[in-house]
Chain A
Amino acid sequence: MSRTDPVPDRPKGEATASTDAAFTALLEDSAEELYESAPCGYLSTLMDGTIAKINTTLLTWLGRSREEVVGRMRFTDLLTVGGKIYHDTHYAPLLSMQGSINGIALDIKKAGGGRLPALVSSLTKTDSDGRPLLIRTTVFDASDRRAYEQELLRERQVAEGARRRAEEDRERLQEALAVLQSSLLPAALPPVPGMEAASYYHTASPDRLGGDFYDLFPLDGKRWAFFLGDVCGKGPQAAAVTSLARYTLRAAALHDPDPVAALTTLNTVLHERYAAGDPRYCTAVFGVLEPDGDTVTVQLASGGHPPALVLREDGRADYLPTPGGLLVGILPTAPFTPARTVLAAGDTLLLYTDGLTEARTGDQRELFGDDALRDFAAGLTHTGPQQVITAMTGLLNSFGDGLDDDTALLALGVPTNRPHPVSDTPT
């Protein structure tokens, strides 16, 4: 065996001799002394647990005399009742199977009624044939260690409770948000004679209220009003604006259903409400439907909103331009651009928010864009609004995580039994 001497110059024999002398003086205690006064408890038991031998250290900890313990008590008599169950269900079986077991936390009962938190290890001594003869056990005083572990355990339980509460809070919040969100949208679209209406709402995040809104409602016996818009921002503040916008437009429409007048009223209300300090605005399309025989006349106006798309029966798809309309609520007075179209059988008017056209697609994460939307719409085979919405929903789903904004869709049209042909000519 090679070994590096730390002080190679010093005469080796001299150093060893003096160290040995010091050791001898210090270590004159016998094996018996080592056993009895060891810094840990020792005991040996028969296989049935009867204590056959125990050291002074452990007797001192227990507060018992040797006569009380040896031959009279079993190891499990030193344990609490819960500890006994643990011993018989875990400790003894493992010791039996492994021949040893290490560092198990158990409480040792003292004669006076106190307890000693201990770490206990055991080893089975076997005869030459492998038959178990006796069990040797060491007991370490682990008061501090166990107190520390209990602190950790308590901390862990506190953290676990906090985590559970946070999860419950989050579920409650999501539930409340879902209820609030649904209150901002119509539960169902009302029937319009000779027409079909369909809608879809995509929520980008269950944790945040979206800012998109739409509605369809009767004005009088002959006309119906609709709107679809997008409030800047998200969350509760945006939801408050959405709520205000929705009810303002509904009330304004009953007073004067002219689309430009309705948006002008909304502009005044939003500007007045949010002018001080926290400007809030939205984009919106507002319109009126007037069925007349086989066709429906649509009058609408836009305030800064992406143009509506009209899907014709013959497969064409064109935007209904409304240039120049300003964001609603940002200035005291604002121009809004009116437009008009007539829907015949098989024609569908599609309103959408910019979540659709600003979705990211492909490897380059490019914007989906107006042209792609028009091409997609022109390629659809459909019989009316419901099928258009179904196809658009499929398109939104195909964006996957490229769709990161709320998106509202509202389709209004005159259905036909005849699916229109897919356009052959590329647009």
Chain B
Amino acid sequence: MDVVSRNNVTVAGPEDAPVLLLAHGFGCDQNMWRLVAPALAERFRVVLFDYVGSGRSDLTAWSEARYSALDGYARDVVEICEALDLREVRFVGHSVSAMIGVLAAAAAPDRFASLIMIGPSPCYVDSPGYRGGFSAEDIDELLQSLQANYLGWSAAMAPVIMGNPDRPELGAELTNSFCATDPAMAHVFARATFLSDTREDLKKVTVPTLVLECSQDVIAPREVGAYVHAAIPGSRLVTLEATGHCPHLSAPEATLTAIAGFLGNLS
């Protein structure tokens, strides 16, 4: 199995520089890093990829059984580390990938040096004594929104979008095709993301960790950021003056500064 093409892995930056592995969250693919990756690649060996079932990954490698749980996505991360023999990995995970990074670091502790969690949440649904911000009905509504919007996806266009990684202009010509995802696979990823509860896994984090949150984020509200920060001893919490769930798109400069500041202090 060729993990590099399966996960559409792309690498940039000096070969001998420290490794920065950027993992996209639910909803899009490695395109999400486009405003920060070039600047990071000046100082780091930047590794980008798409989870199987997202972006331009090999959709034939997807199985519902594996990708119904976050462990399946964590296996993607570990297998990429193994395929490229990445060591001392600085893992940057957005949204659900922050927790996927926690699971991957627990599975392969010798490969990870630090974690940067952007907008993390270990549990989206409220439960007694815990406020994740959402009810089960809210998640159902999200699943309905997914079903109502194919976002540039159609079974007929899929081979064009997915099959031509060397000709991205083909995909770019299609409206909303940046994050085109097979709706069935997106549905499974959404369920794995929003119905998971990985609060217990936070205890397993042993590497230096940065929790990076936005001041106004519906998906990862500040009390969830505080929860994650408190659950990981020694972690740092940085709150960006930004709205939404994607500071690397809405506030790329501030995001870069926070990442560089954290990694600079470590070295």
Contacts and interface: CB of A to CB of B under 8 A. Distances in A.
Contact of B147 (A74, A84, A93, A153): A153
A223 interface: no
Interface string A74-110: 1010001111111011101110111001101111000
A146 B149 CA distance: 11
Contacts of A88: 217-219, 244-246
Contact of B26 (A81, A89, A146): A89
B155 interface: no
A146 B135 CA distance: 24
B93 to A, nearest CB: 15
B243 A49 contact: yes
B246 A90 contact: no
Contact of A104 (B28, B32, B144, B149): B149
Interface residues of B, number: 38
B27 interface: yes
A224 B138 CA distance: 74
B144 A93 contact: no
A48 B243 contact: yes
A168 interface: no
A106 B141 CA distance: 10
B142 A98 contact: no
Contact of B250 (A47, A76, A80, A102): A47
Given A93-B27, A102-B175, A104-B149, A82 B141 contact: yes
B32 A89 contact: no
Nearest to B24: A93
B69 to A, nearest CB: 19
Interface in B15-65: 25-28, 31-32, 34
Interface string B141-179: 111111111010000000000000000000000011011
Contact of A98 (B135, B178, B244): B178
Contacts of A76: 218
Nearest to B140: A82
A406 B32 CA distance: 59
B27 A89 contact: yes
A86 B183 CA distance: 13
A92 B176 contact: no
A105 B139 contact: no
B139 A82 contact: yes
A107 B139 CA distance: 14
B227 interface: no
Interface in B100-149: 134-135, 138-149
B62 to A, nearest CB: 18
Nearest to A149: B148
Nearest to B243: A48
Contacts of B148: 105, 146, 149-150, 153
Contacts of B151: 90, 94, 104
Most chain B C-beta atoms within 10 Å of own C-beta, residue among A48, A84, A93, A146? A93
B145 A92 contact: no
Contacts of A80: 138, 141
Interface in B217-267: 217-219, 243-246, 249-250
B32 A86 contact: no
Most chain B C-beta atoms within 10 Å of own C-beta, residue among A81, A83, A98, A149? A81
A243 to B, nearest CB: 41
Interface residues of A, number: 31
A107 to B, nearest CB: 8
A106 B145 CA distance: 7
B248 to A, nearest CB: 10
B95 interface: yes
Given A82-B138, A93-B249, A102 B176 contact: yes
B150 to A, nearest CB: 10
B216 interface: yes
Contacts of B135: 81
A82 B145 contact: yes
B219 A85 contact: yes
A268 B243 CA distance: 90
Contact of A94 (B144, B147, B179): B179
Contacts of B245: 88-89, 92
A139 B134 CA distance: 26
Nearest to B184: A160
Contacts of B134: 81, 85
A89 B34 contact: no
A81 B138 contact: yes
A178 to B, nearest CB: 26
Contacts of B31: 97
A104 B147 CA distance: 11
Nearest to B241: A48
A101 B151 CA distance: 9
A393 B223 CA distance: 71
Interface in A11-53: 47-49
Contact of A97 (B34, B146, B219): B34
B138 A85 contact: yes
Nearest to B150: A105
Contact of B142 (A47, A48, A86, A150): A86
B250 A85 contact: no
Contacts of B216: 48
A94 B176 contact: yes
B179 A93 contact: yes
8 contacts: A48-B216, A81-B135, A82-B138, A82-B142, A82-B143, A92-B246, A96-B249, A104-B151
Q: Which 5 A-B pairs have the closest CB atoms?
A: A82-B141, A89-B27, A86-B145, A82-B142, A81-B138
Given A82-B139, A89-B25, A102-B176, 17 more contacts: A47-B243, A82-B138, A82-B140, A82-B142, A84-B218, A88-B246, A89-B27, A89-B95, A90-B149, A94-B179, A96-B246, A96-B250, A97-B31, A97-B34, A105-B149, A106-B145, A107-B141
Interface of A: 47-49, 74, 76, 80-86, 88-90, 92-94, 96-98, 101-102, 104-107, 146, 149-150, 153
